[in-house]
């Protein structure tokens, strides 16, 4: 492939990592990005004289290939952060990861006893259907703890009942965690083998998550690669046969031929433009995405709470998470005295909330922020909204029946690879998307045969705090 050309759709972590790796291997790359900056959902933006991410973006990976790239780009310009996060539920703050005494105090003796009984009950009479999120979590934590610590947050995030949510979401994110393991960890610690959900240290670049991708873009340019911003790809035209080349079409109607195309554009947009058979189109249209509304609030001075972010489980508040950028690293505040909070709201395209104007959303978020008692009344000086369409692939029950045929159709396309959170419909973190980019590049440049669809599914994602510390921690 050394003398050949590769087009990459999307300059998020997946697409840029693929471009970076290919350029390093001497392959000619051209990146087409719809937006006006690089980094995708992991970009960092300037706001009120400070820097903010699009919601909390901690970096964590136990994969040496990912960490090597991340470290090579950042050098010394990052810190290891002690995680400080809590759950807010009905006016009570619980430490998260859960700590035994704190949880007991927050729940109260009666509720704690009920929760334990409910856990023991499910150990004796487990829920039969573990294919749903509700069944999967209930069997590991009991019904009462499921309701307090999982149900309301998950239903806010996904906008569907936990009975309609596939257990894949839990299996991927909570993995083998159970009440037993959580309590054991809370009381005894876990040596070096702490569970992924309980990891209490993470890496963060001094100038925000997005600086990694800004640096990556710079290096790609230095190696002769091209990144075209404000340049959305309208459709991909598959290669008509083996040993032929795929093309992509731009807004101005021009088409461009490449030896290989790597796409990280949303899977549905790719399939719609490819002239796929009707049944594949019908399956692809069943794959839903959730949108995120980020309401940023500028608060007068410093807020007293120390958390990097707080999960809002209280059903009476619509927000699901509040991030306080002041509590990450000092540099992102750029010496400014104010605090910037980010309140997250999740919606579907058809929800009224998604279409509300900025002033309405800021007013609503301000009211909710005051109701948490985290900040003094009248301390909000300004607000603004960032809309993130298609920010979460929704693992609703039955989604695998739709994704399977679409995956098989896309995998059969000659010289086209599909990667990334939306591109492959995987609930990826940055590191999963970076890994997909690395492996896609190896397939093309080194003739490897990695199954890109298996990343973040079967791939054993070894995230122990010990490995992470060894890989990335500063001495």
Instruction: Point out which residues bind ligand FAD (CB under 6 A).
Output: 9-15, 32-35, 40-42, 55-59, 232-233, 264-265, 269, 292, 344, 388, 391, 420-422, 428-431, 433
Contact 271, 279 (CB under 8 A): no
* Cis bond upstream, residue 40 (ω within 30): no
Q: How far apart are CA 148 and CA 107, in angstroms?
A: 9
The least CB distance from residue 14 to ligand FAD, in Å, is 3
Q: Which is nearer to ligand FAD, 422 or 465 (CB)?
A: 422
Instruction: Tell me whether residue 59 or residue 136 sits nearer to ligand FAD (CB atom).
Output: 59
DSSP 3-state of 235: strand
Q: How far is the CB of 379 from ligand FAD (least distance, A)?
A: 24
Q: Which is nearer to ligand FAD, 143 or 247 (CB)?
A: 247
Q: How far is the CB of 420 from ligand FAD (least distance, A)?
A: 3
Given a contact cutoff of 8 angstroms between Cβ atoms, the answer to whether 315 and 152 are in contact is: yes
Shortest Å distance, C-beta 16 to ligand FAD: 7
Residue 395 corresponds to which tokens in the numbers above? 């693992």
Residue in 138, 113, 112, 108 with CA at minimum distance from that of residue 126: 138
* β-sheet bridge partners, residue 227: 31
Task: Provide the 10 A C-beta neighbour count for residue 239.
Answer: 19
Cβ at position 3, least distance to ligand FAD in Å: 25
Cβ-based nearer residue to ligand FAD, 106 or 423: 423
Residue number with the shortest CB distance to ligand FAD? 12
Q: How many residues does the chain have?
A: 475
Comparing CB distances to ligand FAD, the nearer of 144 and 432 is: 432
Distances in Å between the Cα of 126 and the Cα atoms of 29, 129, 179 are 53, 9, 14
- What is the number of alpha carbons within 13 Å of residue 307 lying toward its C-beta? 21
CB of 323 to ligand FAD, least distance (A): 9
Pick between residue 327 and residue 429 the one whose CB is nearest to ligand FAD: 429
CA distance 319 to 384: 15
CB nearer to ligand FAD: give 122 or 227.
Answer: 227
Q: In angstroms, what is the minimal distance from the CB of 135 to ligand FAD? A: 26
């Amino acid at each position: 492939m050394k003398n050949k050309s590769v087009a990459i759709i999307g300059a998020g972590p997946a697409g840029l990592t693929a471009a970076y790796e290919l350029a390093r291997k001497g392959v000619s790359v051209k990146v087409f990005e719809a937006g006006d900056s690089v980094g995708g959902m992991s970009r960092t933006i300037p706001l009120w004289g400070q820097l903010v991410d699009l919601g909390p973006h901690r970096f964590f990976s136990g994969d040496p290939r990912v960490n090597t790239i991340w470290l090579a780009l950042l050098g010394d310009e990052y810190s290891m952060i002690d995680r400080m996060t809590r759950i807010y539920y009905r006016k009570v703050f619980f430490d998260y990861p859960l700590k035994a005494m704190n949880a007991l105090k927050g729940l109260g003796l009666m509720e704690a006893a009920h929760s334990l009984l409910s856990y023991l009950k499910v150990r004796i009479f487990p829920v039969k259907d573990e294919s749903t999120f509700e069944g999967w979590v209930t069997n590991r934590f009991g019904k009462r703890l499921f309701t307090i610590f999982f149900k309301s947050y998950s239903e806010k995030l996904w906008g569907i009942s936990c009975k309609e949510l596939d257990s894949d979401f839990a299996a991927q994110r909570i993995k083998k965690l159970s009440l037993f393991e959580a309590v054991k960890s809370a009381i005894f610690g876990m040596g070096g083998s702490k569970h992924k959900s309980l990891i209490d240290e993470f890496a963060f670049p001094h100038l925000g998550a997005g600086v990694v991708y800004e640096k990556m873009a710079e290096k790609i340019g230095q190696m002769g690669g091209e990144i075209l911003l404000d340049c959305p790809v309208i459709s991909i035209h598959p290669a008509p046969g083996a040993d032929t080349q795929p093309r992509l079409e731009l807004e101005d109607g021009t088409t461009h031929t490449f030896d290989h195309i790597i796409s990280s554009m949303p899977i549905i947009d790719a399939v719609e433009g490819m002239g796929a058979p009707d049944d594949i189109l019908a399956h692809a249209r069943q794959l839903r995405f959730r949108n995120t509304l980020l309401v940023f609030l500028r608060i007068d001075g410093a807020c007293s709470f120390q958390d990097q972010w707080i999960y809002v489980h209280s059903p009476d508040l619509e927000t699901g998470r509040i991030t306080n950028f002041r509590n990450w690293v000092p540099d992102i505040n750029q010496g400014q005295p104010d605090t910037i909070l980010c309140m997250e709201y999740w919606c579907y395209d058809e929800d009224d909330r998604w279409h509300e104007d900025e002033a309405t959303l800021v007013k609503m978020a301000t009211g909710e922020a005051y109701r948490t008692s985290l900040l003094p009344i009248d301390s909000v000086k300004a607000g603004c909204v960032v809309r993130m369409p298609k920010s979460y692939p929704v693992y609703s029950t039955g989604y695998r029946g739709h994704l399977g045929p679409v995956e098989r159709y896309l995998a059969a396309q000659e010289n086209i690879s599909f990667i990334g959170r939306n591109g492959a419909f995987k609930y990826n973190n940055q590191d999963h998307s970076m890994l997909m980019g690395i492996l896609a590049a190896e397939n093309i440049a080194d003739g490897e045969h990695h199954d890109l669809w298996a990343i973040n599914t079967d791939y054993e994602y070894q995230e122990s705090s010990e490995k992470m510390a060894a890989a990335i921690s500063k001495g």
